[in-house]
C-alpha cells in the first residue's frame, strides 16, 4: 500500500498501478470507487465530482451504466458545453479526449430548460478501457478558451484547498 497521509501519497495512490497491476481498486476523494481486473472496470459513483473543472482520460473506453446518470461534456473542438443524460443499459464509447464531469444520478426529471435533474444515490457502471494513448488531466473552459492542467498538478491544488479549509475549522 502506498503512503496516503501526504497529498502526494493520496494522489499517487489513486492511480498507482492502474496500467501495471492486473487486479486492484482505488477510492477517489469520497465520490468514486473503482475496481478492476485487467482492463475491465467496475465504477461506483456516490455523488457528483467535487472538481470545478472537467477532465479527459489517458485512454479511450466503453462504459455501460447500470443506472442512468447526468454528465457535463465539452465539445472537443470548441469551448461549448452541454448537460446530457447518459442512459442505463446502453453501451457508450468515449475517446480519450472526451472532456466531461460526472454530475450525479438522474432523478428521472428535467428542468425548465430541458436539462436532466440529479438526485442523491449511487450509480454503478461497467467499463472497458483501451490502451494508454495520451496524458490526461483537467480542463478549465471559460470565455471561449480551453486550458489544460496535467492531473497531478491539478489534484495538488485540490489538496491545498482542502488543507486550507480544514485549517479554518
Q: Which CATH number fits domain 47-161: 2.60.120, 3.40.50, 1.25.40, 3.40.630?
A: 2.60.120
C-alpha cell at 124: 454503478
**How many residues in total does the chain contain?**
169
Average pLDDT of the residues of the chain: 82
Please report, rounded to a whole number, the percentage of residues in the chain having pLDDT higher than 90. Answer: 46
pLDDT-derived band at 49, boundaries 50, 70, 90: confident
Give the whole-number percent of the chain exceeding pLDDT 70: 79
pLDDT band at 3 (very low <50, low <70, confident <90, very high): very low
In a 10 Å sphere around its CB, with 0-12 CB exposed, 13-18 middle and 19+ buried, how is residue 31 labelled?
A: middle
Domain boundaries, the chain: 47-161
Residue 159 confidence (pLDDT): 61
pLDDT in tens, 69-109: 999 998 877 778 899 999 999 999 999 989 899 999 999 99
Q: How confident is the model at residue 168 (pLDDT cuts 50, 70, 90)?
A: low
pLDDT at 149: 84
pLDDT tens for 128-145 read 999 988 888 888 877 777
Amino acid at each position: 500500500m502506498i503512503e496516503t497521509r501526504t497529498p502526494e501519497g493520496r494522489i499517487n495512490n489513486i492511480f498507482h498501478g492502474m496500467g501495471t497491476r492486473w487486479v486492484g481498486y482505488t477510492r477517489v476523494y469520497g465520490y468514486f470507487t473503482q475496481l478492476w481486473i485487467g482492463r475491465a472496470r467496475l465504477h461506483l459513483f456516490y455523488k457528483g465530482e467535487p472538481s470545478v473543472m472537467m477532465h479527459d482520460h489517458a485512454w479511450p473506453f466503453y462504459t455501460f451504466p447500470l443506472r442512468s446518470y447526468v454528465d457535463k461534456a465539452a465539445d472537443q473542438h470548441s469551448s461549448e458545453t452541454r448537460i446530457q443524460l447518459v442512459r442505463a443499459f446502453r453501451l457508450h464509447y468515449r475517446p480519450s479526449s472526451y472532456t466531461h464531469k460526472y454530475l450525479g444520478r438522474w432523478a428521472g426529471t428535467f428542468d425548465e430548460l430541458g436539462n436532466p435533474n440529479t438526485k442523491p444515490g449511487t450509480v454503478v457502471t461497467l467499463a472497458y478501457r483501451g490502451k494508454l494513448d495520451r496524458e490526461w488531466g483537467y480542463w478549465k473552459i471559460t470565455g471561449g478558451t480551453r486550458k489544460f492542467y496535467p492531473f497531478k498538478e491539478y489534484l495538488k491544488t485540490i489538496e491545498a484547498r482542502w488543507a486550507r479549509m480544514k485549517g479554518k475549522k
